[in-house]
Amino acid sequence: MADPVGFLQSLIRAQRDGEAAVQRLVADAARGLGCAVETVRYRPGDVPMVAEFAGDRAIDAGERESVVATFKGRGHGRSVIFFAHPDGEPVAGTERWKRDPFAGVIDNGRLHGWGVADDLSGVAILVQGLQAALESGRLPAGDVILASTPSKRHARGVSALLHGGLTADAAVYLHPAESGVGMREIKAFASGLLEFRITVEGRVPDTNEISHTAFAHTAVNPLDKLMLIHRALQALDTRRAASIRHPALHEAIGRSTNLLVSHMAAGSDGVYARIAPTAVLAGSMSFPPPETLEQVRTAIEAALQEAAADDAWLRDHRPRVEFVSGVTGAETPVDSPLYRTVADAIRAVTGEVPHVNPLHTSSDIRNPILQGGIPTVGLGPLGGDLTQNGLTDEWVDVEDYLRAVKVAAAVIDGWCGAA
């Protein structure tokens, strides 16, 4: 089998032929380690929604494929699922890259490649971590399950596996740290996130004139009404900031919930003398566990009702709210056996005491916790310039990637025990 860096480079090169080519490499490598390998095909829209939801237009409709490889424990130790996602952003804009996005170029200690930090390095770590554990000569007593399963654009791969019966005593999500600190942090906390879209009706003036400006006083500009909605949401955000508190979030950033208005629109740019029939506001709200999606939805709906009640036009033309998608937050306590095992592994490999970064929102660590009752944490190497963020030459730090492989092996040894 290839060395850890070489294996990651092979995954990057395989992307030229698509996600299925990546999954074949994962399956072959897992078989080479003595795993029983299963390919699971599913449709994201058929997977039950638990503590989350998404509208039809947000869900990936096509059939997807997960690779599940199980190394059977040689004793009676605890079992663990390592999972990561092989799917990346749709390939586009590669001409802006300074390095070949599908060659796995190493430059100044960084390994570059399309999706390498989101999340091919995680996929590589789950295979290479097991290989390192086996090469140490200490066979795991408990089962080690490797799951390379789609995640992006509501692909919901790990959810499909959990609802299909996959279970274990713990799970570890392998994904580079977006915060930029690499192996010095553990993902053990994830806020929930609710995305919404609000449409407000207006009334155009009764005229055939091209310009509406002279008749504006006879119309109802939906942007004026949208400002009322915006102010109501701001007031809701202020109230929630004062009443909702999670210690980890407050210590890290001084606030436990936020409402972000990210989009407002009406009419067309370049047409400045006409009133639009409708206006749209869209945004999202983050919220900590144990608050539920239903509680957050109810709070937003109540704020809209309050704004409508105070305005004659909105009372008769209620704003329409569409909840686009939402996930519930989750956490694994720092005094839990899993967290202590992972923290000990990181300290043994890196020499540093890791910390929890509570600023990840809607992290995939939530899925095993909420949908399978499985304690879960996440870890990964230093990475950056994510394609998902519109950047180029995505990378992971080679040395931190190698440390992550060693940590994964140490977690297997510490959690599953040695036969």
User: Tens digit of pLDDT for each residue in 281-330?
Assistant: 999 999 999 999 999 999 999 999 999 999 999 999 999 999 999 999 99
Q: For residue 158, is pLDDT > 60?
A: yes
CA separation for the pair 260, 128 (Å, rounded): 39
CA separation for the pair 243, 301 (Å, rounded): 18
Residue 415, token pair as written in the block: 């959690």
CA atoms within 13 A on the CB side of 41: 3
The predicted structure's pLDDT at residue 173: 97
CA separation for the pair 405, 122 (Å, rounded): 9
The predicted structure's pLDDT at residue 2: 65
Reported confidence tier of residue 408, pLDDT bands at 50, 70, 90: very high
Mean pLDDT of 22-43: 96
192-327 CATH, one of 3.30.300.130, 3.40.50.800, 3.30.70.360, 3.30.70.420: 3.30.70.360
Q: For residue 379, is pLDDT > 90?
A: yes
| Cβ count near 417 (within 10 Å) | 18
Reported confidence tier of residue 361, pLDDT bands at 50, 70, 90: confident
4-190+329-416 CATH, one of 3.40.630.10, 3.10.129.10, 3.40.50.880, 3.40.190.170: 3.40.630.10
Q: For residue 61, is pLDDT > 80?
A: no
Q: Which residues are paired to 73 by β-bridges?
A: none
pLDDT tens digits, one per residue of 167-212: 999 999 999 987 888 999 999 999 999 999 999 999 999 998 889 9
Instruction: Tell me the pTM.
Output: 0.90
Mean pLDDT of 106-129: 96
CA separation for the pair 385, 393 (Å, rounded): 6
Higher pLDDT: 237 or 151? It is 237
The predicted structure's pLDDT at residue 45: 86
CA separation for the pair 403, 382 (Å, rounded): 10
φ, ψ of residue 329 to 5 degrees: the values are -80, 165
The predicted structure's pLDDT at residue 177: 80
Q: For residue 385, is pLDDT > 70?
A: yes
Residues 100-118 as b/e (b if ≥16 CB within 10 A, e otherwise) read ebbebbeeeebbbbbbbbb
Looking at residue 296, its amino acid is: V
For the chain, the average pLDDT equals: 94
Looking at residue 382, its amino acid is: L
Q: For residue 56, is pLDDT > 80?
A: no
Domain-wise residue ranges, the chain? 4-190+329-416, 192-327
Higher pLDDT: 154 or 144? It is 144
The predicted structure's pLDDT at residue 51: 86
The predicted structure's pLDDT at residue 360: 82
